[in-house]
Structure 1
Amino acid sequence: MMTPEQLNAIKERLAKATPGPWGFDKGDNLREDRRPAVVEHFDYEHGEWFIHGDIADISDATFIAHARQDIPALVAEIERLRAELTDIIVVATEEASSITHDNGYDDIVAIARSALK
């Protein structure tokens, strides 16, 4: 389970990364570029290309290039789900307090709370 500290560390690395979108180019034997793939992005503010590294496998290059868009989306989804789970806990706690017998509500609230840890 991801802790808030781990999520914050990811968000810090994300904030420090160069802006996207990133892409990759396959090596070109005609230009004597023997690299299988190069992850890169164009900095529109300064008008220059940045090469992030040679990648041995096209699938790895695709994964890395998409990380600039994928990671922010995943972080946003984690935060959305955590907020939704917090709302569920509030409602479940309120509902459980109004019922005179347990019927498992306490267990549901405990499970939801443990999911946020």
Structure 2
Amino acid sequence: MLPIMPDPNTPQGLEPLSPEYLAEIAARAEAATAGPWGFYDGDNYADVAAELEMTGRGSYTCRQQVARLEDESYWDDPAHEEDDEEHASEQMAADATFIAAARTYIPTLLAEVDRLRAELADRPTRDEADAEIQRATNGLREAWTAEVTHLTTEITRLTARSVWLLMQGEDHEGGDVLGVFATRDTARGEFIAAARRLHFEIDGAEEQEDGSLHLHAGCDWLSLTPHPVSTAEAIEAGESR
């Protein structure tokens, strides 16, 4: 069997392992002798075997022997020329431990990869997440703009220093003040009532840019107009209106 080579689709491990590469690992694990595996550490060798059980000092039983490691191969590596004999047995035991554990570790890790990839598949893509963030941002911006506009209007209304005068009179003879109101809306009802009381049919109506209303009926007129006012503090400060 060919050795497992690095996944050609994942240079330097920077990209996710391809499904084909993971399938190859899973197939090799499935084809290997069924586990669990254990190992026996002899004097100058180590056995890896399936369902290994120790039966006494220096003896064991197993369902099937999988591999044998010998310390002679340790000394074949030039990098170990300066090591003492204890290093050979320690390295052999570490290798046997890894081989035996891999029978359980590899299927477990493959199952975890499948679980994590399934979990990621249920999550939105980057583009979908970006689009959702953009929608939420736009909604917040629109709500913020609407609230700022509302507050600006309210502040302007509350800080406006003017009153609305409802007046009635005859052409060329001046008129009388029927009422003083804080806003045009509060004068609406009185303005309509006064218009209905006019003696003649309305023959002219005008609304000017400042919101003032003017009605004409025969020789009578009715108006609702804003007039600036000043507080005592403003007058003392020399503020003109």
Same fold (TM over 0.5): yes
The structure where helix makes up a greater share of residues is 1
Query: Which amino acid in 1 is paired with 2:49?
Result: E
Query: Which amino acid in 1 is paired with 2:122?
Result: D
Runs of at least 4 residues off by over 6 Å: none
Given candidates 36, 44, 48, the residue that maps to 1:39 is 48
Given candidates 44, 64, 72, the residue that maps to 1:49 is 64
Q: Cα–Cα, structure 1 residues 48 and 76, in superposed 2: closer, same or farther, change >3 Å?
A: closer
1:10 Cα deviation after fit: 0.5
Q: Which residue of 2 aligns with 1:84?
A: 119
Given candidates 6, 14, 24, the residue that maps to 2:39 is 24
Given candidates 3, 6, 15, the residue that maps to 2:30 is 15
Given candidates 9, 13, 19, the residue that maps to 1:4 is 19
Asked if 2 retains the 8 angstrom alpha-carbon contact of 1:40 and 1:49, the reply is yes
Query: Which amino acid in 2 is paired with 1:38?
Result: D
Given candidates 47, 58, 64, the residue that maps to 2:93 is 58
Whole-angstrom distance in 2 between the partners of 1:48 and 1:100: 62
Could you say what secondary structure the match of 1:89 adopts? coil
Percent identity between the two aligned chains: 41
Q: Cα–Cα, structure 1 residues 86 and 55, in superposed 2: closer, same or farther, change >3 Å?
A: farther
1:98 Cα deviation after fit: 8.4
- Higher relative contact order (Cα pairs below 8 Å, separated by 6+ residues): 1
Whole-angstrom distance in 1 between the partners of 2:117 and 2:134: 26
Asked if 1 retains the 8 angstrom alpha-carbon contact of 2:49 and 2:63, the reply is no
Asked if 1 retains the 8 angstrom alpha-carbon contact of 2:47 and 2:65, the reply is no
Query: Which amino acid in 1 is paired with 2:40?
Result: D
1:69 is the counterpart of 2:104: yes
TM-score (norm 1): 0.65
TM-score (norm 2): 0.34
**Larger gyration radius, structure 1 or structure 2:** 2
Could you say what secondary structure the match of 1:88 adopts? coil
Gaps of at least 5 residues in structure 1 are 29-33, 104-117
Whole-angstrom distance in 1 between the partners of 2:105 and 2:121: 24
The structure where strand makes up a greater share of residues is 2
Number of equivalences: 94
1:63 Cα deviation after fit: 0.7
1:48 Cα deviation after fit: 4.0
1:40 Cα deviation after fit: 1.2
Asked if 1 retains the 8 angstrom alpha-carbon contact of 2:50 and 2:64, the reply is yes
